Amino acid sequence: MADRFTMQDPRHQFPAPPFPQQPQSPPGLVSEMRPAPDHGEKSYAGFGRLLGRKALITGGDSGIGRAAAIAYAREGADVAINYLPSEQSDAEEVLGYIEKAGTKGVALPGDVSDEKICQALIEDAVKQLSGLDILVINAARQQARKSVAEVSSEDFDRTLKTNLYALHWLAQAAVPHLPPGASIITTASIQAYEPSAHLLDYATTKAGIVAYTKALSTQLIEKGIRVNAVAPGPFWTVLQPSGGQFPEKVETFGQDSAFGRPGQPVELAPVYVLLASQEGSYITGEVFGVTGGKGIA
């Protein structure tokens, strides 16, 4: 495969379905995915855009968070990653990539659906990184259910706490530590605009993330802090085979995009870098759609 800077047809740049069914128990492991996702392990090259910055990324062991962590480190940032304890093996791989980039990597396991853990994550990140400039709120829960009758109160509660409550708890704890020029980046989804019938609770949280991000950006620009969201479309992450899609849907995942394939996490990394860097100095309150041609409205 050509490197990412060589001009090529984007429709054929990465794997396209059909993919094998590969069900995993949530939250799943990257190491068990086929084909393996590209998080930039070999393909992302940095240019020093984040030299000296200090970042915390939730869900940094896999998927979008993993791609952002690798990119941030190669752009010169020290990076703390949060993940669930069961994802330790994936997290260790990411920490290895951070250290190979020559920056500091910090492991912060913990379940963000717990308010006290969110507060501790911020305090630990600030302490171990000697400050905090970038907060990427990315960890998410997505479990497909066939009907509203199957979305239990426990489902709804866990999804909202992981995806939406954690956003509030983390932002609330982080703001007192963020200097002017800092950046908060949230992960929304095309589901906020085109919700799928089988993702009732997930889509609800993603719409909430868009609204919260826009409101928070208005508050924090008075402190010189920018707040933006990224809204991905279909991306090949471990979220999908670990219950985020029905097994038969994994086989054709991303097929209905304009590219005929899902996006790879590395294709989102430059957007997260832009929003974190000084190159994005006039961007706040925005939602960046990266949807494979589907757009956001």
Q: Which residues are catalytic?
A: 202
HSE-CB for 94 with a 13 A CA cutoff:
37
d(CA 70, CA 39): 8
Residue 206 contacts by C-beta under 8 Å, 6 or more apart in sequence?
163, 188, 189, 191, 192, 231
Q: Are 208 and 162 in contact (CB under 8 A)?
A: no
